[in-house]
Amino acid sequence: MAYKITDKCIGCGACAAQCPVSCIADKGGRYEIDENTCIGCGGCSNVCPVGAPEEN
Ligand code: SF4
Ligand code: SF4
């Protein structure tokens, strides 16, 4: 199941740096997941300091 990044995102970039399929992009201060590429590994959720990524 793909993840999505909620409004809690503070734009730190930690998730994008570790995503194994590089599907998280900087959208000007906050980040977005390409849900068609995300493999649902949960890595972004594990590294996020504010719990912004959630299962879609
Ligand atoms: Fe990338 Fe995994 Fe997060 Fe999907 S769940 S965006 S594959 S780190
Ligand atoms: Fe946003 Fe969390 Fe990703 Fe940082 S790790 S860019 S706060 S979703």
* Mean pLDDT across the chain: 97
Whether the CB of 19 sits within 6 Å of ligand 2: no
When pLDDT is averaged across residues 12-28 and rounded to a whole number, the result is 97
Q: Are 7 and 49 in contact (CB under 8 A)?
A: no
**Total domains in the fold of the chain:** 1
State the pLDDT at residue 48.
98
Tracing tokens 């995503």 back to the chain, one arrives at 19
Q: Are 33 and 44 in contact (CB under 8 A)?
A: yes
Q: Which of 3, 4, 5, 41 to mutate to test the pocket of ligand 2 (most atoms within 8 A of CB)?
A: 5
Instruction: Write the secondary structure of 5-56 as one string of H (helix), E (strand) and C (coil).
Output: ECCCCCCCCHHHHHCCCCCEEECCCCEEECCCCCCCCCHHHHHCCCCCEEEC
The domain in which residue 26 lies consists of 3-55
pTM: 0.94
CATH code of the domain in which 9 resides = 3.30.70.20
Q: Pocket around ligand 1: residues whose beta carbon is below 6 Å from it?
A: 3, 19-21, 23-24, 33, 38-44, 53
Q: Is 90 exceeded by the pLDDT of residue 56?
A: no
